[in-house]
Amino acid sequence: MDTFHPPGRISPFISSHLSDFFNNFGISFSVDGPQLDYFVSRNETGADISCSLTIGFDDPAGPIEVMTFYPGLNLLPHTRYLSAVCFFMVMQHFAGFKHIEVNCRIHLNTCQDVYDSFYSLLKDFNFQIIPGGLDNLINVESCFLPLDIDTTMFKLRALPEDYAV
Higher local confidence (pLDDT), 101 or 143: 143
pTM of the model: 0.89
End-to-end CA distance of the chain: 35
Domains of the chain: which residue ranges? 17-156
**Tell me, what's the pLDDT at 164?**
57
**Residues 49-65, mean pLDDT to the nearest whole number:** 87
Q: What is the DSSP string of 115-137?
A: HHHTGGG-TTS--EEES---TTE
Class of domain 17-156: alpha beta
CB 144 within 8 A of CB 108: no
Selection from 75, 82, 98, 79 nearest residue 29 by Cα: 98
